Structure 1
Amino acid sequence: MTRFVSLFAITAVLCGPALAQTSGEGTARGETAETSLPKAPDQEPVFENQTRTPLPAEKTAVETETIAEDLSNLWSMEFLSDGAMLVTAKEGDMMIVSSEGEVGAPIEGVPEVMSQGQGGLLDVALAPDFDETGMIYFSFSEPREDGGNGTSVARARLETDGSGTGTLQDLEIIFRQTPAYDGDMHFGSRLVFGPDDHLFVTVGERSDTPIRDQAQDLTSGLGKIFRINPDGSAPEGNPFARHAAIQPEIWSYGHRNIQAATLDPEGRLWTVEHGPMGGDELNRPEAGLNYGWPAITYGLDYGGAPIGLGLTAMEGMEQPVYYWDPVIAPSGMAFYQGEEFPAWDGAVLIGGLVSESLVVLHLEEGRVTSEERIPLGARVQDVKVGPDGAVYAITEADNNSSSAIMRVTSQAGG
C-alpha cells in the first residue's frame, strides 16, 4: 500500500475564509474557528462559551500520513491489541487493516444489512474482555420482517486465522431499536462500553416528520440513548427500569441523530449529535434526562423554517454543553490521552463531515474554553487515538466514493 506524508503548519486551523493567524492572536482578538454566518442568527446561547469559543492561544502543527486508501465506504474503526484496526464498511463488510495499511479479506459471518441512504454496517466495539473471549459488538441497520428497518446490535466471537481475516462465530442479535420504520435516515449509531461494562447504544429518531416527534415519547425507542447489559437485557439501575410502560433500556431521550460518543477519563459518557440546519450538540447525557429534540433545538429546518415553535430552551429540558451553527456534521469522537499532543491532553476530538476537519475542543470543569480545527481535506467519519498516541481518522471523498485511514501526528518542532 502506498503511503505518503503531507505537512500542515496550522495557524488559523479553520475550514473557511480568513485562514491566516499568528499564535496567540486569535484569543486576544476573540477570533473563532467558525467564520461563516450562523443559519439562525436570531438565536442566542444561554451561557458564555456555549458556541463559538475563541481559538486556543497556541497553534497546533501536525503531519498527516495516509495509512490506507481506496477502501470501500468505511464507517468505524477499533484498534486491536497488536495495533491492527478492525473496520466496518457501510455496504456490510468488516475487515482487519494492519498497522502498515494491508487490508484483509472481508470477515465472514456478517449479517445482512440495509445499506440504502444512511443505513449500513455501523459501529464496532471490542468487549471489555476481548483479549480473553474474542467477543465484539457491532451495530447495523437491520431489515425487519414487516418491511421496515431499524438499528440493531449484535455480538459475536471474532476468530482470526493469522492472515489478516477471520470469521464471526456464535453471532447473536442482542438488541433491536423499536419501532421499526420504512426509511433510510438517522440510524445513529455508536457503541460505548461504560466503566461498569454496561453498553451504551446511541440511535437516531429516523428524521421524518412526524415520526421524529417520538424522540420525546418514552414508549418509543426512537431518538434515545440506551444502556444495556452485555447480553442485551436492561440493567436494574436504568432510570426507567421499573416503569412498566417505558422501554427499560432507555438511558436518556430527546436526541436527534447521535453518530459520535465516547467516555471521558472519568468514565462519563459524552456525545455529539447531528442538529438540523445549524444546531449540532455536544452533550454529557445523564440518566433519565430529556435533551429536547424536537421541542427545543438550535438551528432551523432544512427549508429555513423554525423547528416546531422555534424554541431553544424549555423547563425540564437540558441545554447542550456546546453547539455549532453552522454545523460541523459530527461523526466519531474521542478524548485525547497520550504523549504525541501534550497540549491536547483531556481535549475532545470530533470528526467533522461538513467541516472536513478534526475538531478539537478544550474543556475546563465540563465547559468548552476553546475550539480549533485541523483541516484534513476530506469528510471525517470516525476518530480514534491509537496505541502510539497518534490520532487516526477515517476519511471519505466528497462524493462518498472511497475511504482512507489517516494518521495525524505532531509536526516535528511544531
Structure 2
Amino acid sequence: MDRRAVLIGFLSAAAVRPSLAQEEFGTQSGRVKLETVASGLDHPWSLAFLPDGRMLVTERNGQLRAITAAGELSEPIRGLPEVSAVGQGGLLDIALHPQFPSNRLVFLSFAEPRETGNATSVMRGRLSEDATRLDEVKVIFRQQPSASGGHHFGSRLVFDRTGALFVTTGDRNRLRQLVQQTDNHIGKIIRITEDGGIPPDNPKPQGWLPEIWSMGHRNLQGATLHPDTGALWTVEHGARGGDELNRPEGGKNYGWPLISYGKEYSGARIGQGRVMEGMEQPVHYWDPSIAPSGMVFYTGDKYPGWKGNLFVGALVQTHLARLLMQGDEVVEEEQLFKGMARIRDVRQGPDGFLYLVTDEGAPDGRILRIVPA
C-alpha cells in the first residue's frame, strides 16, 4: 500500500455518535465544545466573514443570507441570478474580493441553468452597505460545455496572493470522457482575473485553453492556500475510494479518469490503474472514501497542537478530518465529531476559531464554532 494511505496513529474522536447536547468532545489535543452560531438554514454550502462581524452564508437552494454576531438570519439578499438547484447543484461557494472593505465585491459560484442543461458559473456583485442586495451583478466565468443532471459541479473559489481567482470544477459525472481533453472546462481547475480575463502568468501548455490551470480532476469540493507558501491545495471526490488531497501545480495533469486509487461503484477498475507516465500522484488519498468538502490550514492559537494542521470536512463519513502535516506529507489523521453531521465546509474566522457548515436541509442546517472546553 502507498505510504500516503497509511494513517499513522489514526484516532477516532468519539466512540459513539455525538450530538450537540454533549457539552464536550475529546480530541488528541484536549477537549473542545461545539457552539451553534446559526441554525434554520437549508443545505448551507459556504460562508464568508464580513469586516463588521457579520457572516454571509450560501444555501444550495439559491439563497444568500447575512448572519449577525447574535446568530440572526437576514432575509435572502436580493439581486442574485437564477440557479439550477438540482441534485448537488445550486448556489455554492462564496469568496470576498481581497480588497472587499474598499470595493465590497462578492464572488459566488453556482450551477447555472443553460439551454442544454446546467453548468458551473461564477458571478460577482457589489454588496450594498446594508447587506440587503447585490448590485452590478456580472457572470465572469461559465464552464463549457453544459450538461443535464445534478452531479459534480465542483466548486470552490480561492483568490491567490496575486489577486487571481482559482475556480474548481467537476466532471459532471457523465462527461468524464472530456476531462483529458484540453479544449473544455470539464474536470479542470480554472485561474482567471477578477473580471474573468486571463492572468498573464497562467501556464501555457500547447493546446490548452488559456484559463486552465490544471486538469485530470473528478469533483473538487475543497480548496485553500497554504499559509506559508501561498500554494493552492485541493481535495476532490474519488469514486468508490480514491478521494484525493492534491497540491495542484500549473500545467500538470492529475490523471482522472485514466488513473485513480478508487474503483467504479460496480467494483470495476478505473482506467489503467494507479500510475501513468506524465500524470501526477496525490499527496494523500482516502480509501474508503470520506467525500471531502471544504478545507483550511489552521493558523491561529485557540487550540493547543492544531496550528499548521489541515482540516477537511467529510460528507459521507460525517466528521472533520484533522491532518498533521510535515512539509507536503500527511503523517497523522484524527477524526473529530465522527457521526455528528455532514460537514460541507470549514473556515477559520477572524477571531481565530474554526467554523463548520453542516449539510442538512431546513431547518437543520447549521453554522458551528469549535471552542476549547
Structure 1 length as normaliser, TM-score?
0.83
Say how many residue pairs are matched: 356
- TM superposition shift of 1:286: 0.2
SS in 1 for 2:128: strand
SS in 2 for 1:52: coil
- Quick one: distance in 1 between partners of 2:226 and 2:45? 22
Query: Is 1:364 aligned with 2:364?
Result: no
Query: Is 1:150 aligned with 2:119?
Result: yes
Q: 1:321 aligns with which of 283, 288, 291?
A: 283
Structure-2 residue corresponding to 1:10: none
Is residue 51–residue 322 contact of structure 1 (8 Å, CA) maintained in 2?
no
Write the mapping of 1:131-170 to structure 2, written as runs, cut at 5 A. Answer: 131-144=101-114, 146-161=115-130, 165-170=131-136
Is residue 180–residue 256 contact of structure 2 (8 Å, CA) maintained in 1?
yes
- Quick one: distance in 2 between partners of 1:319 and 1:53? 20
Letter in 1 for 2:47: M
- TM superposition shift of 1:70: 2.1
Please tell me the root mean square deviation across aligned C-alpha atoms, in Å. 1.6
Write the mapping of 1:355-394 to structure 2, written as runs, cut at 5 A. Answer: 355-375=317-337, 377-394=340-357
- TM superposition shift of 1:53: 3.1
Query: Is 1:312 aligned with 2:250?
Result: no
Structure-2 residue corresponding to 1:53: 8
Structure-1 residue corresponding to 2:148: 182
The answer for unaligned runs of 5 or more in structure 2 is 12-26
Is residue 333–residue 348 contact of structure 1 (8 Å, CA) maintained in 2?
yes
- Quick one: distance in 2 between partners of 1:213 and 1:313? 19
Q: 2:75 aligns with which of 105, 116, 134?
A: 105
Is residue 50–residue 321 contact of structure 1 (8 Å, CA) maintained in 2?
no
Q: 2:42 aligns with which of 72, 77, 94?
A: 72
Letter in 2 for 1:160: E
- TM superposition shift of 1:307: 1.3
Q: String of CA shifts for 1:289-324, please: whole Å, max 9, x gaps.
A: 110101000111112211133x01111111100000
Q: String of CA shifts for 1:52-84, please: whole Å, max 9, x gaps.
A: 232379444211111112211111111111222
* CA spacing shift, 1:171–1:189, aligned 2, 3 Å: same
- Quick one: distance in 2 between partners of 1:53 and 1:91? 40
Q: Percent identity of the aligned residues?
A: 48
- TM superposition shift of 1:236: 1.7
Is residue 51–residue 323 contact of structure 1 (8 Å, CA) maintained in 2?
no
Structure-2 residue corresponding to 1:302: 265
Structure-1 residue corresponding to 2:51: 81
Query: Is 1:223 aligned with 2:223?
Result: no
- Quick one: distance in 2 between partners of 1:135 and 1:396? 26
- Quick one: distance in 2 between partners of 1:383 and 1:104? 21
SS in 2 for 1:49: helix
Is residue 382–residue 394 contact of structure 1 (8 Å, CA) maintained in 2?
yes
- Quick one: distance in 1 between partners of 2:93 and 2:132? 18
The answer for unaligned runs of 5 or more in structure 1 is 1-43
- Quick one: distance in 2 between partners of 1:400 and 1:293? 35
- Quick one: distance in 2 between partners of 1:270 and 1:396? 22
Is residue 271–residue 282 contact of structure 1 (8 Å, CA) maintained in 2?
yes
Is residue 52–residue 324 contact of structure 1 (8 Å, CA) maintained in 2?
no
Q: String of CA shifts for 1:172-220, please: whole Å, max 9, x gaps.
A: 1011111111221100000000000000000001112xx2121111112
Letter in 1 for 2:243: D
